[in-house]
C-alpha cells in the first residue's frame, strides 16, 4: 500500500509538472505571437533605429525685407557638435580638445563622452571657424565618434527697428508679429540623411545612404520703408521721453492710395535679438529677483502692439469723421453757420468748449473744425442724427477689424445704435465715450485723403522664393467708397485750414500744403483720468502721399494737448518723409511764408539784366538812382524772402539809403503783418502760424528800406 501511495504521488507530481510546462509553453507561444503580430510595428521601429542613423538637415527660414530692400530678419547657418559615445576610443584626449576649442569645462565634456546613450550634444550654435578646427583635428588624429550637424539661427540686423511689426522666432515657430502671422510661409522643410549602422553606430560597409534635401522657407517683402520707419521711431521716442509719457506712444505712417503701412512705431520697444528681457537698466537690476509671473507680465506688456491691439478715446481727431459725414450727407457745407456760446446743454448735461471763457461766437463749419469747437460739433452730430452718424462710423470701418495681417488686432467699441441717446450722439460727434484703435483711425483718415476710398491696410507686399522670384503679390485692396470724391476734397480743404490758421499750426511746414487735426482724448473718469495727445496729418494736401498719426499716451510733462505736443512730432516725421520721397514744395506766391526765395546777387549787373533776374525767381523791385548798373541791393544776396518781396536796387555809388520806421505787427495774422510791412517798403520773414508774438527789429527802429523784419507767430495751445 505504501508503494502504491508513492506511485500515485509521483504520478500526480509528473502530471502537475506537465501541466505547468504546458501552461508555460502556451504562455511563451502567446507572448511570441503577441510580439510578432501585435508589437511588430514597435519592434520594426526599434530595429530600424538601432540599424540606422537619421540626421536632420536644417532648412533656412525665409528672409524678411523692407520695401526698400533692407533686410529686417534673416537666418544664418550655425553648427552643432555631437558625439556618439560608443565610438569614442580616446575619451580623455577628445575631451581635452573639444573643451579647448569650444571653451567648455573639461570635466563636463569628459562625462558626456562616457554617457550610455546613442548620441550626446556637446554644444550647439557653434561658429564654423571653430567647427573647422574640430574637423581638422579629426583628420589629423583619425578620431571617431564626433559628428557636426548644421543648423540655422534667426537674426535681426536692425535690433529694435519695427520690432512690434516684425516680431520674433522661437525654437521652432514664429511667436509674434509677422514672424507669427506668416509662419507657414517663412518656415521651410528640413532635409534628412539616413544611413545604415551597426549597434555601435558605425556605418556598415557597402550600405546605402538616402539624402533628402532641405527646402528653404519663402521670403517676405513688407510695405514698411526702413527710412520712414526710422524717422517715425526717432521722433516718437524723443516725444515720449520729453513729455514723460507713462504709457508710451504710437506713430503710424500710411500711403493713402494703397493702404501701405510705411511705418508703424511703438514705444517703448525691444531688441528682437533678445526679446525675453530685461528691457532697460532698471529692469536688469531686479530681473533675477522677480517672479516668473512678473517677468511674463513685463514681457507681454513690452511685446503688445498698441497700434493695433489697444483701443482709446480719440478725442477731436474724430471730428474729421463727423465732418465727413456731415458734408457727404449734404446736411452741411463749409459755410454753414453755427454758434458757440461757450457751452451747450444736452439732456441735462452741460458740455463746455475748450474756450468757454471766450466763446467762438458765430462761425462757419470750416472755422468750427479750425477752432476744434465741441459745442459746434455737438450741434452737427444732433442735426445729422444717430442713424446717419452711425452709418458713416460703420462705413469708415470703426466697428470691425481692418484686416491688417498682424496678430492681435482689436476692433472699435461703440454704443449700440438703439442705446444712443442725444448725450451719446453728442459725445460721439466730438470723439469721446467710445474706443477705437490707432490703425482704424489712420486708415479712416487715409480714406478721406484717398478721394473717399477706404483701403485695407497692407503690411506684406510680396512673397518670394529663395532665388528672389516673386511667387505672389498682395495687391492693394479697396474695401469700399465711404464718401464721395467731392466730399473728400472739401474735408481735406477744411483740414488744411486747421494747420494754416487753426489749432494745428505746430504741424505747419514751410513750402508744403499740410492738412491735419488735433486731438486730446480724455481716458477714464474722475481721479483715474488720463489723456491721449494726438495729431493726424495729411501731406501734401493737393495730392496726398502720406498720412501720419501720432498718439502720446498719458503725458506728464508741461502739456497734454495734441496741438502742443503731438503736432510737432507729425511735422518732423512729415518733413523728413516728404524730403526722402522727393516731393517738391508747393509754390503759392500769394501766401506769405509758404514759399521762400533766396535773393540772387545782382550787384554789378546791368539794370535791365538785374530786373530780368529778379522777375525770373518771383521777386519784384524798385530802383534808386539814375545809373544803368546795380551798385547795391537791399536785401543782400542769399537772404531768404517770401515770393513777390521787393528788392531795392541802387544804381549809383554813394546814394544815401532810404530809411523807414519799422511798424508794430504784434498781434497781427501773417497776411496782415506782411501787408503792413509791405506798405512801408519792408519785407517779412514769417516763422510759425497764428498771431504775431514778437518781431525783430522792434517797432520804431529805423532801418534801410527793403530790409527784412523777422516775425514769430504763435498759436494758443488748445485741444
Q: Is 313 left (phi over 0), alpha (psi -120 to 50) or beta?
A: beta
Q: Where are the beta strands (DSSP E) in 88-218?
A: 120-126, 146-155, 191-196, 209-212
CA distance 135 to 84: 15
The CA-CA-CA angle for residues 316, 318, 319, to 5°, reads: 70
Question: Mean pLDDT over residues 34-43, rounded?
Answer: 63
Q: How does pLDDT run across 317-361, given as a tens digit for each residue? A: 999 999 999 999 999 999 999 999 999 999 999 999 999 999 999
pLDDT > 90? residue 617: no
Residues 601, 645: one domain? yes
Q: Residue 208 above 60 pLDDT?
A: no
**Under a CB-based contact definition with an 8 Å cutoff, are residues 507 and 517 in contact?**
no
∠ CA 302-304-307, rounded to 5° = 120
Please indicate, yes or no, whether residues 452 and 396 belong to a single structural domain of this protein: yes
Question: Residues 678, 682, 683, 689: is their CA dihedral positive or negative?
Answer: negative
Q: Cα–Cα distances in Å, from 91 out to 133, 198, 490?
A: 18, 21, 83
Largest interatomic CA distance in the chain: 170
The set of cell numbers assigned to 573 is 516725421
* Residues 381 and 387: beta-carbon distance below 8 Å: no
The last residue of one of the domains, among 517, 549, 580, is: 580
Residue 127 lies in a domain: yes
Across residues 15-31, what is the average pLDDT?
Answer: 77
Q: How far apart are CA 445 and CA 469, in angstroms?
A: 35
Q: Residue 196 above 60 pLDDT?
A: no
As given in the structure block, the three cell numbers for residue 158 are: 536692425
Contact, 114 vs 86, CB < 8 A? no
Q: Report if residue 269 sits inside a domain.
A: no
Verify that 345 and 430 share a domain, yes or no: yes
Q: Using CA atoms, how far apart are residues 52 and 199, in angstroms rounded to an integer?
A: 9
| Residue 480 sits in the same domain as residue 520 | yes
Q: Which of 201, 222, 243 is the last residue of a domain?
A: 222
Residue 331 in any domain: the answer is yes
Q: What does 518-560 look like in DSSP terms, one character per residue?
A: EEEEEESSGGG-EEEEEEEEEESTTS--EEEEEEEESB-SS--
Choice among 316, 379, 534, 645 that is catalytic:
316
| 595-623 average pLDDT score | 89
- pLDDT score of 433: 93
Q: Are residues 546 and 610 in the same domain?
A: no
3-state secondary structure string, 578-594? HHHCCCCCCCCCCCCCC
Angle among Cα 141, 142, 146 to the nearest 5 degrees reads 100
Closest CA to 223 of 409, 475, 465: 475
Contact 353, 719 (CB under 8 A): no
Q: Check whether residue 576 and residue 611 sit in a common domain.
A: no
pLDDT of residue 528: 87
- pLDDT band (50, 70, 90) for residue 54: low
- Same structural domain, 548 and 660: no
Write phi, then psi, for 171 (nearest 5 degrees).
-65, -45
pTM: 0.75
The pLDDT assigned to 74 comes to 94
Domain boundary among 554, 580, 606: 580
**Phi and psi dihedrals of 640, rounded to 5?**
-80, 125
- How far is 291 from 363, CA to CA, in rounded Å? 59
Does 620 lie in the same domain as 518? no
- Check which CATH number belongs to the domain holding 522 and give it: 3.40.710.10
**What proportions of the chain, in percent to the nearest 5, are helix, strand and coil?**
35, 25, 35
210 located within any domain: yes
429 and 389 Cβ atoms separated by less than 8 Å: yes
Q: How far apart are the C-alpha atoms of 174 and 466, rounded to whole Å? A: 19
| 465 and 606 housed in the same domain | no
Is 67 a known active-site residue? no
453: helix, strand or coil? strand
pLDDT digits (tens, 9 = 90+) for 624-660: 888 899 999 999 888 888 877 889 999 888 778 889 9
**In the beta sheet, which residues pair with residue 511?**
none
Q: Let me know whether 463 and 495 are in one domain.
A: yes
Reference 256, options 516, 451, 473; nearest CA is 451
Confidence of residue 716 (pLDDT cuts 50, 70, 90): low
Q: What is the CATH number of the domain that holds 208?
A: 3.90.1310.10
- Report residue 393 as a C-alpha cell: 462710423
Domains contained in the chain, number: 3
* Residue 388, phi-psi category: left (phi > 0), alpha (psi -120 to 50), beta (remainder): alpha
* Helix (H), strand (E) at residue 632: strand 632-634
Q: State the residue for C-alpha cell 554789378.
A: 604
Same-domain pairing of 509 and 635: no
pLDDT of residue 60: 82
Q: Supply the CATH number for residue 642's domain.
A: 3.30.10.20
Give the pLDDT score at 487: 98
Same domain, 536 and 669: no
The 10s digit of each residue's pLDDT in 543-567 is 999 999 999 999 999 899 999 999 9
Beta bridge partners of 472: 463
3 state SS of 702: strand
Check: CB of residue 657 under 8 Å from CB of residue 705: yes
Residue 98 corresponds to which cell in the numbers above?
A: 573639444
Chain centroid, CA 44 distance in Å: 54
Q: Which domain holds residue 459?
A: 307-580
Which grid cell sits at 76?
Answer: 544664418
Q: What is the pLDDT of residue 206?
A: 47
Q: Is residue 183 part of a domain?
A: yes
pLDDT at residue 5, as a whole number: 65
Return the pLDDT at 593: 47
pLDDT digits (tens, 9 = 90+) for 358-372: 999 999 999 999 999
Query: Which three cell numbers, joined as nine digits, stand for 47?
Result: 530595429
Rounded to an integer, the average pLDDT of 395-413 is 96
Q: Is residue 557 part of a domain?
A: yes
For residue 90, tell me if it sits in a domain.
yes
In angstroms, the CA 677 to CA 40 distance is 102
Residue 6 scores a pLDDT above 80? no
**Nearest Cα to Cα of residue 264 among 302, 303, 301, 236:** 236
Which of 189, 225, 198 has its CA nearest to residue 70? Answer: 225
Structure confidence at residue 47 as a pLDDT band (50, 70, 90)? low
Task: Tell me: pLDDT of 52 over 90.
Answer: no
Q: In a 10 Å sphere around its CB, with 0-12 CB exposed, 13-18 middle and 19+ buried, how is residue 645 labelled?
A: buried
The three cell numbers locating residue 644: 513777390
Q: Are strands 659-661 and 702-704 parallel, antiparallel or unpaired?
A: antiparallel
H or E element, residue 6? helix 2-33
Q: Is the pLDDT of residue 589 over 70?
A: no
Q: Which three cell numbers stand for residue 610?
A: 538785374
Give percent of the chain above pLDDT 90.
64
Answer yes or no: is 280 within a domain: no
For residue 190, the Cα-to-chain-centroid distance in whole angstroms is 32
* pLDDT number for residue 2: 57
Each residue of 93-151: pLDDT tens digit? 999 999 999 999 999 999 999 898 888 999 988 888 899 899 999 999 989 899 888 77
Question: Shortest CA distance to 572 belongs to which of 344, 192, 194, 263?
Answer: 263
Predicted local distance difference test score (pLDDT) of residue 657: 84
211 compared with 450, residue with greater pLDDT? 450
Residue 426 · residue 515 · CB < 8 Å: no
Running DSSP on this structure, what letter comes out for residue 200?
T
The mean predicted confidence, pLDDT, of the chain is 88
* C-alpha cell read off for 198: 551597426
- DSSP state letters, 43-108: HHHHHHHHHEEEEEEPPPPPPEE-TTS-EEEEEEEEEEEEE-GGG-S-HHHHHHHHHHHHT--HHH
Q: What pLDDT does residue 40 have?
A: 61
% of the chain residues with pLDDT over 70: 89
- At 270-284, the pLDDT tens digits run 999 999 999 998 999
β-pair partners for 692? 713
Amino acid at each position: 500500500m505504501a508503494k502504491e501511495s508513492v506511485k500515485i504521488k509521483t504520478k500526480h507530481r509528473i502530471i502537475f509538472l506537465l501541466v505547468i510546462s504546458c501552461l508555460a509553453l502556451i504562455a511563451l507561444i502567446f507572448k511570441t505571437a503577441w510580439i510578432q503580430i501585435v508589437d511588430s510595428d514597435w519592434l520594426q521601429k526599434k530595429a530600424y533605429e538601432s540599424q540606422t542613423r537619421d540626421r536632420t538637415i536644417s532648412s533656412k527660414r525665409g528672409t524678411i525685407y523692407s520695401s526698400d530692400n533692407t533686410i529686417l530678419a534673416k537666418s544664418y547657418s550655425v553648427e552643432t557638435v555631437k558625439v556618439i559615445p560608443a565610438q569614442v576610443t580616446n575619451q580623455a584626449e577628445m575631451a581635452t580638445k573639444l573643451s579647448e576649442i569650444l571653451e567648455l569645462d573639461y570635466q563636463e565634456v569628459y562625462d558626456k563622452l562616457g554617457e550610455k546613450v546613442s548620441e550626446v550634444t556637446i554644444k550647439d550654435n557653434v561658429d564654423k571657424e571653430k567647427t573647422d578646427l574640430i574637423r581638422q583635428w579629426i583628420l589629423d588624429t583619425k578620431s571617431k565618434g564626433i559628428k557636426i550637424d548644421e543648423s540655422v539661427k534667426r537674426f535681426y540686423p536692425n535690433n529694435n527697428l519695427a520690432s512690434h511689426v516684425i516680431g520674433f522666432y522661437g525654437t521652432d515657430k514664429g511667436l509674434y508679429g509677422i514672424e507669427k502671422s506668416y509662419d507657414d510661409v517663412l518656415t521651410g522643410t528640413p532635409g534628412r540623411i539616413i544611413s545604415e549602422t551597426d549597434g555601435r553606430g558605425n556605418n556598415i560597409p557597402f550600405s546605402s545612404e538616402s539624402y533628402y534635401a532641405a527646402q528653404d522657407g519663402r521670403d517676405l517683402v513688407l510695405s514698411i520703408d526702413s527710412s520712414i520707419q526710422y524717422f517715425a521711431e526717432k521722433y516718437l521716442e524723443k516725444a515720449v521721453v520729453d513729455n514723460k509719457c507713462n504709457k508710451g506712444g504710437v506713430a503710424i505712417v500710411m500711403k493713402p492710395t494703397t493702404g501701405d503701412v510705411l511705418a508703424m512705431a511703438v514705444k517703448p520697444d525691444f531688441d528682437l535679438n533678445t526679446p525675453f528681457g530685461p528691457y532697460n537698466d532698471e529692469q536688469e537690476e531686479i530681473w533675477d529677483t522677480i517672479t516668473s509671473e512678473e517677468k511674463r507680465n513685463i514681457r507681454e506688456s513690452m511685446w503688445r502692439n498698441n497700434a493695433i491691439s489697444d483701443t482709446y478715446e480719440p478725442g477731436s481727431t474724430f471730428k474729421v469723421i463727423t465732418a465727413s459725414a456731415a458734408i457727404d450727407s449734404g446736411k452741411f457745407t463749409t459755410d454753414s453757420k453755427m454758434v458757440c456760446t461757450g457751452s451747450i446743454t444736452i439732456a441735462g448735461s452741460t458740455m463746455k468748449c475748450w474756450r468757454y471763457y471766450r466763446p467762438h461766437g458765430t462761425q462757419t463749419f470750416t472755422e468750427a473744425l479750425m477752432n476744434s469747437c465741441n459745442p459746434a460739433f455737438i450741434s452737427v452730430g444732433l442735426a445729422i442724427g444717430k442713424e446717419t452718424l452711425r452709418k458713416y462710423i460703420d462705413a469708415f470701418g470703426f466697428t470691425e477689424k481692418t484686416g491688417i495681417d498682424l496678430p492681435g488686432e482689436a476692433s472699435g467699441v461703440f454704443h449700440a445704435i438703439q442705446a444712443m441717446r442725444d448725450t451719446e450722439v453728442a459725445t460721439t460727434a466730438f470723439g469721446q465715450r467710445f474706443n477705437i484703435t490707432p490703425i482704424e483711425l489712420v486708415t479712416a483718415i487715409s480714406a478721406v485723403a484717398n478721394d473717399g476710398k477706404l483701403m485695407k491696410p497692407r503690411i506684406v507686399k510680396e512673397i518670394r522664393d529663395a532665388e528672389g522670384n516673386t511667387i505672389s503679390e498682395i495687391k492693394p485692396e479697396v474695401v469700399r467708397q465711404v464718401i464721395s470724391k467731392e466730399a473728400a476734397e472739401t474735408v481735406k480743404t477744411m483740414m488744411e485750414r486747421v494747420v494754416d490758421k487753426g489749432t494745428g499750426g505746430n504741424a505747419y511746414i514751410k513750402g508744403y500744403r499740410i492738412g491735419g487735426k488735433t486731438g486730446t482724448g480724455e481716458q477714464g473718469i474722475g481721479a483715474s483720468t488720463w489723456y491721449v495727445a494726438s495729431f493726424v496729418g495729411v501731406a501734401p494736401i493737393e495730392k496726398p502721399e502720406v498720412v501720419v498719426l501720432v498718439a502720446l499716451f498719458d503725458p506728464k510733462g508741461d502739456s497734454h494737448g495734441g496741438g502742443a505736443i503731438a503736432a510737432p512730432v507729425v511735422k518732423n516725421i512729415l518733413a523728413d518723409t516728404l524730403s526722402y520721397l522727393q516731393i517738391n514744395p508747393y509754390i503759392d506766391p500769394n501766401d506769405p511764408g509758404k514759399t521762400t526765395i533766396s535773393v540772387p546777387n545782382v550787384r554789378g549787373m546791368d539794370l535791365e539784366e538785374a530786373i530780368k533776374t529778379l522777375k525770373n525767381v518771383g521777386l519784384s523791385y524798385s530802383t534808386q538812382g539814375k545809373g544803368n548798373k546795380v551798385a547795391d541791393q537791399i536785401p543782400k544776396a542769399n537772404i531768404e524772402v517770401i515770393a513777390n518781396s521787393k528788392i531795392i536796387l541802387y544804381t549809383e555809388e554813394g546814394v544815401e539809403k532810404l530809411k523807414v520806421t519799422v511798424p508794430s505787427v504784434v498781434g497781427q495774422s501773417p497776411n496782415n503783418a506782411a501787408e503792413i510791412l509791405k506798405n512801408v517798403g519792408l519785407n517779412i520773414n514769417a516763422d510759425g502760424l497764428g498771431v504775431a508774438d514778437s518781431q525783430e527789429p522792434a517797432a520804431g527802429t529805423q532801418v534801410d528800406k527793403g530790409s527784412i523784419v523777422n516775425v514769430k507767430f504763435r498759436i494758443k495751445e488748445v485741444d
